[in-house]
Chain A
Amino acid sequence: MTTPPTPRFDAREASKWFFRHGHTGWLGLRFTEQGDNWVELELPWREDLIGDSSQHVLASGPIISLMDMASGMAIWQTRGTFQPVATLDLRVDYQRPARERASVRGRVECYRITRSAAFVRGIAYDESPDDPVAHVAGCFMTIGADPREANPALRGGGNG
């Protein structure tokens, strides 16, 4: 069977439609930079995303969303194709609060990828990547890449 060639996944291009709707659109995420196995996105400062009414600092929740999205895109960037992934585990270690009225950037690299799993690590920062707001580590699984489905011999009998 022949399939038409699909263009390599490109985070910059994908961002044009990823951030138009849904949760990431509501947050107003923006694409900033990319490499072979990493993607960087920006979460712009916004008054209604503060975590504590006494400080003008972004809440940690939107920073998790930023890092989760940058993680997924880093995986597709590394794999070269857009294949849906599910987050299994995401850990965020907060180093310090973000600065007042500062946007936060999330840079995540996919350092290991297998057929069904992907491992990422990254940082969130406001001014300099050398002074991160948070460190992140995560583990993802591809959806719909169950090898048993591709191999009829491994498929359970009787279930079609």
Chain B
Amino acid sequence: MADRLELPAYARSLGLALTGGDEGGMPVLTVDFGPMVEGRPQHFHGGATAGLLENAGYAALRTALNAAGRDPVLKPINITVQYLAAGKSQASFAVGRITRLGRRNANVTVEAWQSDRSRPIATAVMNILMV
């Protein structure tokens, strides 16, 4: 379950946190706006948004693996981030969805949004190797 997950050091120092809520059984992550995530004035840096997406992707995969009683080492193969709208100076949220969970690899789709869940600000597709 989501409350058994632990975010990596990078995620915690960037200010990412689990909201405690979920979507389709997958944990929702959030980050408040602040200097640590700011790019051009009053907007999220693309890299910070990518960090949120990536961590939500791993959190979703860990949740699915826990449910299946699996605990492999995860290695990133690639990530493609699509930026859809500027991240404004307010909290952002993200949640992942497992598109395919195989034996050796997983394909995860992630969405990030701000005040309106139906208007994503960025999406990502990640391929992750499990060993």
In this assembly, does A109 line the interface, its C-beta being within 8 Å of a C-beta of chain B? no
Per a CB cutoff under 8 Å, which of B14, B45, B86 touches A68?
A: B45
Whether B81 and A90, one on each chain, are in contact in the complex, defined by CB atoms closer than 8 angstroms, is: yes
Determine the chain B residues whose CB is within 8 A of the CB of A50 once the complex forms: 8-10
In this assembly, does A65 line the interface, its C-beta being within 8 Å of a C-beta of chain B? yes
Whether B8 and A53, one on each chain, are in contact in the complex, defined by CB atoms closer than 8 angstroms, is: yes
Q: In the complex, A53 Cα to B51 Cα: how many Å? A: 17
Determine the chain A residues whose CB is within 8 A of the CB of B48 once the complex forms: 23, 65
Whether A64 and B81, one on each chain, are in contact in the complex, defined by CB atoms closer than 8 angstroms, is: yes
Number of A interface residues, CB 8 Å?
36
Per a CB cutoff under 8 Å, which of A23, A49, A69, A84 touches B38?
A: A23
Supposing A21-B35, A64-B81 touch, asked if A90 and B50 sit within 8 A by C-beta, the answer is yes
Whether A49 and B13, one on each chain, are in contact in the complex, defined by CB atoms closer than 8 angstroms, is: yes
Whether A88 and B76, one on each chain, are in contact in the complex, defined by CB atoms closer than 8 angstroms, is: no
Determine the chain A residues whose CB is within 8 A of the CB of B12 once the complex forms: 48
Determine the chain B residues whose CB is within 8 A of the CB of A66 once the complex forms: 47
Determine the chain B residues whose CB is within 8 A of the CB of A59 once the complex forms: 8-11, 51
Per a CB cutoff under 8 Å, which of B11, B36, B77, B79 touches A64?
A: B79
What sequence of 0s and 1s flags, for each residue 42-55 of chain B, a beta carbon within 8 Å of any chain A beta carbon?
00011110110011
Which chain B residues have a beta carbon within 8 Å of chain A's beta carbons?
8-14, 35-40, 45-48, 50-51, 54-55, 75-83, 86
10 A-B pairs (CB sep. < 8 Å): A24-B39, A49-B9, A49-B10, A60-B79, A61-B51, A62-B51, A64-B47, A66-B47, A90-B81, A94-B75
Which chain A residues have a beta carbon within 8 Å of chain B's beta carbons?
21-27, 47-53, 58-62, 64-69, 84, 86-94, 97
Given contacts A62-B10, A91-B80, A94-B75, could you give 17 more A-B pairs where the C-beta distance is less than 8 Å? A22-B35, A22-B38, A23-B39, A26-B36, A49-B10, A61-B10, A61-B11, A61-B14, A61-B50, A62-B51, A67-B47, A84-B40, A86-B86, A87-B83, A88-B83, A90-B50, A93-B78
